[in-house]
Structure 1
Amino acid sequence: MKGQHTVVIPENPVSRFLFSDTRSAFIWLVIRLYVGYAWLKAGWGKVQSDAWTGENAGAAIQGFVQGSLAKSQEGADVAGWYATFLESTVLPNAKLFAFAVAYGELLVGLGLVFGLLTGIAAFFGALMNVSFLFAGTLSTNPLLFILATWLVLAWKVAGWYGLDRWALPKLGTPWKTKEKS
């Protein structure tokens, strides 16, 4: 269209420092290790548990969902639409969801601790935090959700002191493919 032009709004110095400058990588290392350890600890406990991944896989998640469904009847802790999802999708597939949660938590923890695909790991951690929050479980989920969201925003530098420092240049980014040698 005639007369249209692109306006580029410059990034403010604080955002540029936090989300694009490797000098901020130590801040993200501390946050990444804290969140990663929390996920690793939770996932390892579930992977080792019979009620999550063993012979009785799905038992723990069934109990969790039943508790969430009870909260949906008591008041506003669990929204009706989410209770319907839990009852119609999660409960009938409790074993599958138990494996997904247990190994998902473990993989998110490993990704964050080792700084490999940090933004992706943090995204899936935040997704699990939101799922637990929708199910009426507070615990550390609000804090971990906020920190994971920040890690997603800082994906370019959050894994600088980790494997992302070497992996991201090799993998490329959606807007720049890896260079051919």
Structure 2
Amino acid sequence: MNSVNYQGRNVIIPENPVSRFLLSDTRAAWIWLIIRVYVGYEWLVAGWHKVTADAWVGAKGGTALQGFVKGALTKAESGADVTGWYASFLQNVVLPNAKVFAYMVAYGEILVGLGLILGLLTGIAAFFGGLMNASYLFAGTLSTNPLLFVLATWLVLAWKVAGWYGLDRWALRYLGTPWHAKSSTSMKL
């Protein structure tokens, strides 16, 4: 339940049964397991291709990212798909540091994939996966990014149960949550 302060009173707004089931009930965890493993697999494969490619992190590290950024900048110049502020970010921040960003992208994709597949810090992994999807979308790349962004957003919302069939079942007990101190009795999963 959520509480809202209305004219000095604390008003409780009950959560609807569908969202309570999907986002807070461990009986729905199998749904999130399927989505989580699919999205994680997509990220792991994408990251693995980058890590094993010379143009990303090998001897020619960063050249693939430079090509991607230059393509996005061309789209921005023609007024298609890429907004000016993002083109400015790509040109002034990413392009001069392409090698560093190439490593961050490649290994970030692998970490997101592993986090989702293993169900470890699922909400955090899904958030960073969604952030990368949004970055690709801002750069004018569709592919599977819209679908993966939507699924990542759902996984972030369902973080409490999305990792139930995974390492979060134990990790969240050990780490605690921001609103509960770390202890064995503070969070009964």
Query: Alignment partner for residue 94 of structure 2, among 90, 93, 103?
Result: 90
Q: CA deviation at 1:177?
A: 1.1
- Per-residue CA deviations over 1:72-99 (Å, capped at 9, x if unaligned) read 0112310011000000000000000000
In the alignment, is residue 102 of structure 1 matched against residue 143 of structure 2?
no
1:44 to 40, 43, 48: 48
C-alpha distance in 2 between matches for 1:63 and 1:178? 46
The runs of 4+ residues in structure 1 deviating greater than 3 Å are none
Deviations 1:2-57 (A, max 9, x none): x7221111100000000000000000000000000000000011011111111111
Higher strand residue share: 2
Q: Secondary structure at the match of 2:13?
A: coil
Equivalenced residues, count: 179
User: Which one of the candidate residues 13, 18, 21 is aligned to 1:17?
Assistant: 21
- Measured after TM superposition, the shift of residue 178 of structure 1 is 1.3
1:60-99 matches, cutoff 5 A:
60-99=64-103
- State the secondary structure of the residue aligned to 1:50: coil
Kindly indicate whether residue 135 of structure 2 is the aligned counterpart of residue 127 of structure 1.
Answer: no
Q: Distance in 2 between matches of 1:37 and 1:180?
A: 32
CA distance in 2, matches of 1:170, 1:8: 30
Q: Deviations over 1:111-152 (max 9, x none)?
A: 000000000000000000000000000000000000000000
Q: Which has the higher contact order (CA 8 A, sep 6+)?
A: 1
Partners of 2:174 and 2:184 within 8 A in 1: no
When the two structures are superposed, what TM-score results if normalisation uses the length of structure 2?
0.93
Q: Which residue of 2 aligns with 1:33?
A: 37
Task: Could you tell me which runs of 5 or more consecutive residues in structure 1 were left unpaired when the two chains were aligned.
Answer: none
Aligned position for 2:4: none
Counterpart of 1:155 in structure 2 is 159
TM-score (norm 1): 0.97
Identity over aligned pairs, percent? 73
RMSD of Structure 2 on Structure 1 (CA): 1.1
- Code of the aligned partner of 2:90: L
Name 1:170's counterpart in structure 2. Answer: 174
Letter in 2 for 1:21: D
Q: Which has the higher helix share?
A: 1
